[in-house]
Amino acid sequence: MNATPGPSRPSFRRAVYLCLGLLMLGLGVVGAILPLMPTTIFLILAAWFFSRSSPRLEAYLMNSRFGGSLRDWRENGAISRKSKSLALMGMSAGYAIFLVISKPSVPPAIIAGALILACAAYVASRPGSASRNEPDESDG
Protein backbone atom coordinates (compact mmCIF):
# COMPACT_ATOMS: atom_id res chain seq x y z
CA MET A 1 0.00 0.00 0.00
CA ASN A 2 1.31 3.37 -0.96
CA ALA A 3 0.59 6.13 1.49
CA THR A 4 -0.15 9.52 0.07
CA PRO A 5 2.86 11.66 0.88
CA GLY A 6 2.23 14.58 3.17
CA PRO A 7 3.65 18.01 2.63
CA SER A 8 7.38 18.12 2.24
CA ARG A 9 9.36 19.21 5.27
CA PRO A 10 10.45 22.55 3.78
CA SER A 11 6.89 23.57 2.84
CA PHE A 12 5.54 22.44 6.23
CA ARG A 13 8.29 24.40 7.99
CA ARG A 14 7.54 27.46 5.86
CA ALA A 15 3.86 27.20 6.80
CA VAL A 16 4.72 26.97 10.50
CA TYR A 17 7.08 29.96 10.22
CA LEU A 18 4.39 31.91 8.35
CA CYS A 19 1.79 31.17 11.04
CA LEU A 20 4.22 32.12 13.80
CA GLY A 21 5.14 35.31 11.91
CA LEU A 22 1.48 36.26 11.61
CA LEU A 23 0.94 35.54 15.31
CA MET A 24 3.94 37.72 16.26
CA LEU A 25 2.73 40.47 13.93
CA GLY A 26 -0.70 40.34 15.58
CA LEU A 27 0.86 40.56 19.04
CA GLY A 28 2.99 43.48 17.84
CA VAL A 29 -0.12 45.32 16.62
CA VAL A 30 -1.80 44.72 19.99
CA GLY A 31 1.38 45.98 21.67
CA ALA A 32 1.24 49.17 19.61
CA ILE A 33 -2.25 49.81 21.04
CA LEU A 34 -1.87 48.65 24.65
CA PRO A 35 0.50 50.80 26.70
CA LEU A 36 2.24 48.09 28.74
CA MET A 37 2.57 45.40 26.09
CA PRO A 38 5.77 45.47 24.02
CA THR A 39 5.68 46.02 20.27
CA THR A 40 9.18 45.84 18.87
CA ILE A 41 10.17 42.40 20.18
CA PHE A 42 7.12 40.85 18.53
CA LEU A 43 7.90 42.65 15.28
CA ILE A 44 11.54 41.50 15.43
CA LEU A 45 10.29 37.93 15.82
CA ALA A 46 7.73 38.42 13.02
CA ALA A 47 10.48 39.69 10.69
CA TRP A 48 12.64 36.66 11.56
CA PHE A 49 9.80 34.21 10.89
CA PHE A 50 8.84 36.02 7.66
CA SER A 51 12.48 35.93 6.49
CA ARG A 52 12.14 32.14 6.51
CA SER A 53 8.63 31.92 5.09
CA SER A 54 7.51 34.95 3.10
CA PRO A 55 9.97 37.43 1.59
CA ARG A 56 6.99 39.58 0.57
CA LEU A 57 5.72 39.93 4.16
CA GLU A 58 9.26 40.46 5.43
CA ALA A 59 9.77 43.29 2.91
CA TYR A 60 6.41 44.81 3.86
CA LEU A 61 7.36 44.78 7.54
CA MET A 62 10.88 46.10 6.90
CA ASN A 63 9.42 48.98 4.86
CA SER A 64 6.71 49.81 7.41
CA ARG A 65 6.98 52.61 9.95
CA PHE A 66 8.77 50.11 12.22
CA GLY A 67 11.35 49.25 9.55
CA GLY A 68 14.05 51.58 10.90
CA SER A 69 13.98 49.97 14.33
CA LEU A 70 13.92 46.49 12.79
CA ARG A 71 16.88 47.27 10.53
CA ASP A 72 18.83 48.77 13.46
CA TRP A 73 18.25 45.58 15.42
CA ARG A 74 19.04 43.25 12.52
CA GLU A 75 22.20 45.05 11.46
CA ASN A 76 23.65 46.18 14.81
CA GLY A 77 21.59 44.71 17.65
CA ALA A 78 20.76 48.36 18.39
CA ILE A 79 17.80 49.87 20.23
CA SER A 80 17.04 53.59 20.11
CA ARG A 81 17.34 55.58 23.33
CA LYS A 82 13.63 56.38 23.25
CA SER A 83 12.71 52.71 22.81
CA LYS A 84 15.02 51.72 25.65
CA SER A 85 13.44 54.30 27.94
CA LEU A 86 9.93 53.18 27.06
CA ALA A 87 10.85 49.51 27.50
CA LEU A 88 12.44 50.11 30.90
CA MET A 89 9.49 52.22 32.08
CA GLY A 90 7.09 49.55 30.82
CA MET A 91 8.96 46.80 32.66
CA SER A 92 8.97 48.84 35.86
CA ALA A 93 5.28 49.64 35.57
CA GLY A 94 4.46 46.02 34.74
CA TYR A 95 6.34 44.80 37.81
CA ALA A 96 4.64 47.36 40.03
CA ILE A 97 1.22 46.35 38.69
CA PHE A 98 2.12 42.68 39.23
CA LEU A 99 3.01 43.41 42.86
CA VAL A 100 -0.12 45.46 43.55
CA ILE A 101 -2.65 43.22 41.80
CA SER A 102 -1.35 39.74 42.58
CA LYS A 103 0.22 40.47 45.99
CA PRO A 104 2.67 37.58 45.58
CA SER A 105 4.59 35.99 48.41
CA VAL A 106 8.28 36.88 48.65
CA PRO A 107 9.77 34.06 46.50
CA PRO A 108 7.59 34.70 43.38
CA ALA A 109 8.12 38.45 43.77
CA ILE A 110 11.89 37.95 43.87
CA ILE A 111 11.88 35.53 40.92
CA ALA A 112 9.71 37.85 38.78
CA GLY A 113 11.83 40.85 39.80
CA ALA A 114 15.05 39.02 38.93
CA LEU A 115 13.71 38.01 35.51
CA ILE A 116 12.54 41.54 34.76
CA LEU A 117 15.84 42.95 35.98
CA ALA A 118 17.75 40.57 33.70
CA CYS A 119 15.62 41.65 30.73
CA ALA A 120 16.10 45.31 31.65
CA ALA A 121 19.87 44.84 31.88
CA TYR A 122 19.90 43.24 28.43
CA VAL A 123 17.85 46.07 26.89
CA ALA A 124 20.00 48.72 28.58
CA SER A 125 23.21 47.03 27.39
CA ARG A 126 22.28 47.17 23.68
CA PRO A 127 23.99 49.84 21.61
CA GLY A 128 21.99 52.90 20.63
CA SER A 129 20.65 53.01 17.10
CA ALA A 130 22.39 54.90 14.36
CA SER A 131 20.94 58.32 13.72
CA ARG A 132 18.16 58.14 11.21
CA ASN A 133 15.41 60.36 9.92
CA GLU A 134 12.65 57.82 10.44
CA PRO A 135 10.13 58.14 13.28
CA ASP A 136 10.51 55.89 16.30
CA GLU A 137 7.81 53.25 16.74
CA SER A 138 6.01 55.27 19.40
CA ASP A 139 5.83 58.48 17.39
CA GLY A 140 2.35 59.21 16.13
Q: What is the pTM of this model?
A: 0.71
Whole-number pLDDT of residue 34: 80
| Tens-place pLDDT, residues 2-22 | 555 555 567 999 999 999 999
- Which residue, among 137, 5, 121, 6, has the nearest Cα to 73 in the 3D structure? 137
Q: At what angle do helices 40-51 and 55-62 cross, to 10 degrees?
A: 150
| Tens-place pLDDT, residues 113-137 | 999 999 999 999 999 876 454 444 4
Whole-number pLDDT of residue 38: 80
Where are the chain's structural domains?
A: 6-64, 79-140
